[in-house]
Structure 1
Amino acid sequence: MKKSDLSEKQIENLLRDLPKVTDKRSPEEIYQNLSVKRTRKRLPGWLVPSVAASAALILLLILSPSLSGWQNSASNSEKAESGAELAKTEMKEESQDAGDSVSRNNQMKFSNDDSAVEPNSEMQDGPLEQDQPTAVYSEDINGYNVLTYAIPEPNAQIAVPITVLVHSKGGETWFELFEQTMKTLQEEKWGLADYFPLNAQLSYIEETEEVHVDVPADHQYGSGSASETAFERILAQSLPYERVKKINFSTEGQKGIELGNTGNVTELQIKDRKRHAYYFYYPEGNANPYIVPAEESYDTVAEALQQMLKDRKELGLKASLPEQFRDDLVSLSHDEKVLLIKLADGSRLPGDFLHSLEAIMLTAKNFGFEAVRLENAAPDSIGPFDLSEVLPLPVGPNKKIIEGEKEVGE
Structure 2
Amino acid sequence: MPNDKWNDEEIENLLRDFPKIQDRRPKAEVYKKLSHKEQTPKQPKRWLPLLVAIVAFLSISVLVVSLLQQNGTDSSSSSSESSDAESTMSTDEAQTEQTEQAERETQESEGAASLAAEDPQVQRSAVYESEIDGAHVFRIGLAYNGYVVPISFVIPSQDMEEPAALELYEAFAGQIDETGLGFDEYHPYEGELQQNDSTISHFLPDGQTYDQGSSSTLLYLNSLKETFMDQQEIRVLNEDGEAAQLSHVGTVEPLVPGEQGQSFYLLASSTGDWHLAPAYGMSPGNVKEALLSLQQSPNDDYRSPVPEEINYRVEVDGTNADLIFEEPLDLDALDEAEAMQMVESMALTAQSYGSALTLSNTEQTEWAGFDFTRELELPVSPNRIDWPKK
**Aligned equivalents of 1:248, 1:363: Cα separation in 2:** 27
What amino acid does structure 2 have at the position aligned with 1:343? F
Does residue 309 (structure 1) correspond to residue 295 (structure 2)? The answer is: yes
Q: Is the 8 A contact 2:141 2:148 kept in 1?
A: yes
Taking structure 1 as the reference length, the TM-score comes to 0.57
The count of corresponding residues between Structure 1 and Structure 2 is 265
**1:292 and 1:173, CA in 2 relative to 1: closer, same or farther beyond 3 A?**
closer
**Aligned equivalents of 1:173, 1:394: Cα separation in 2:** 20
**1:280 and 1:256, CA in 2 relative to 1: closer, same or farther beyond 3 A?**
same
* CA-CA distance at 1:309 after TM superposition: 1.1
* CA-CA distance at 1:237 after TM superposition: 2.7
Alignment of 1:164-175 (within 5 A): 164-168=153-157, 170-171=160-161, 172-175=163-166
Aligned to 2:192: 201
Does residue 218 (structure 1) correspond to residue 207 (structure 2)? The answer is: yes
**1:229 and 1:299, CA in 2 relative to 1: closer, same or farther beyond 3 A?**
closer
Q: 2:276 aligns with which of 285, 291, 294?
A: 291
Secondary structure of the residue aligned to 1:163 is: strand
Q: Is the 8 A contact 1:279 1:294 kept in 2?
A: yes
Secondary structure of the residue aligned to 1:325 is: coil
**Aligned equivalents of 1:325, 1:189: Cα separation in 2:** 35
Alignment of 1:129-148 (within 5 A): 130-148=121-139
**Cα deviations across residues 336-357 of structure 1 (Å, max 9, x unaligned)?**
9654333345554451222101
**1:372 and 1:187, CA in 2 relative to 1: closer, same or farther beyond 3 A?**
farther
Q: Is the 8 A contact 1:255 1:266 kept in 2?
A: no
**1:174 and 1:226, CA in 2 relative to 1: closer, same or farther beyond 3 A?**
closer
* CA-CA distance at 1:299 after TM superposition: 4.4
**1:308 and 1:205, CA in 2 relative to 1: closer, same or farther beyond 3 A?**
same
Q: Is the 8 A contact 2:232 2:257 kept in 1?
A: no
Does residue 400 (structure 1) correspond to residue 385 (structure 2)? The answer is: yes
Aligned to 1:342: 324
**1:343 and 1:134, CA in 2 relative to 1: closer, same or farther beyond 3 A?**
same
Secondary structure of the residue aligned to 1:237 is: helix
**Aligned equivalents of 2:248, 2:260: Cα separation in 1:** 27
Does residue 192 (structure 1) correspond to residue 183 (structure 2)? The answer is: yes
* CA-CA distance at 1:401 after TM superposition: 2.0
Q: Is the 8 A contact 1:280 1:292 kept in 2?
A: yes
Q: 1:259 aligns with which of 246, 256, 271?
A: 246
* CA-CA distance at 1:249 after TM superposition: 1.1
**1:372 and 1:181, CA in 2 relative to 1: closer, same or farther beyond 3 A?**
farther
Secondary structure of the residue aligned to 2:209 is: coil
Aligned to 1:351: 334
Q: 1:227 aligns with which of 213, 216, 225?
A: 216
Aligned to 1:276: 262
Q: Is the 8 A contact 2:165 2:228 kept in 1?
A: no
What amino acid does structure 1 have at the position aligned with 2:155? V
Q: Is the 8 A contact 2:127 2:384 kept in 1?
A: yes
* CA-CA distance at 1:246 after TM superposition: 3.5
* CA-CA distance at 1:159 after TM superposition: 0.7
* CA-CA distance at 1:190 after TM superposition: 1.8
What amino acid does structure 2 have at the position aligned with 1:340? D
**Cα deviations across residues 315-348 of structure 1 (Å, max 9, x unaligned)?**
x10011112222xx2x434569654333345554
Aligned to 2:232: 244
What amino acid does structure 1 have at the position aligned with 2:232? V
**Aligned equivalents of 1:369, 1:305: Cα separation in 2:** 11
Secondary structure of the residue aligned to 1:305 is: helix
Q: Is the 8 A contact 1:222 1:258 kept in 2?
A: no
**Aligned equivalents of 1:254, 1:389: Cα separation in 2:** 48
**1:218 and 1:379, CA in 2 relative to 1: closer, same or farther beyond 3 A?**
same
Higher Cα radius of gyration: 2
Q: Is the 8 A contact 2:323 2:358 kept in 1?
A: yes
Secondary structure of the residue aligned to 2:288 is: helix
Secondary structure of the residue aligned to 1:228 is: helix
**1:341 and 1:307, CA in 2 relative to 1: closer, same or farther beyond 3 A?**
closer
Q: Is the 8 A contact 1:248 1:268 kept in 2?
A: yes
Does residue 324 (structure 1) correspond to residue 309 (structure 2)? The answer is: yes
**Identity fraction in percent:** 22
What amino acid does structure 2 have at the position aligned with 1:354? M
**1:216 and 1:378, CA in 2 relative to 1: closer, same or farther beyond 3 A?**
same
* CA-CA distance at 1:389 after TM superposition: 5.5
Q: Is the 8 A contact 2:135 2:155 kept in 1?
A: yes
Secondary structure of the residue aligned to 2:358 is: strand
* CA-CA distance at 1:194 after TM superposition: 1.4
Q: Please, which runs of 5 or more residues in structure 1 have no aligned partner?
A: 1-127
Alignment of 1:10-29 (within 5 A): none
**Cα deviations across residues 186-243 of structure 1 (Å, max 9, x unaligned)?**
222221111111122111122xx43222233232222233222211221133213x53
Alignment of 1:53-202 (within 5 A): 130-153=121-144, 155-156=145-146, 158-168=147-157, 170-171=160-161, 172-202=163-193
Q: Is the 8 A contact 2:264 2:278 kept in 1?
A: yes
Instruction: Report which structure shows greater RCO (CA 8 Å, sep ≥6).
Output: 2
**Aligned equivalents of 2:120, 2:257: Cα separation in 1:** 40
Mean CA deviation greater in 179-188 or 129-138: 129-138
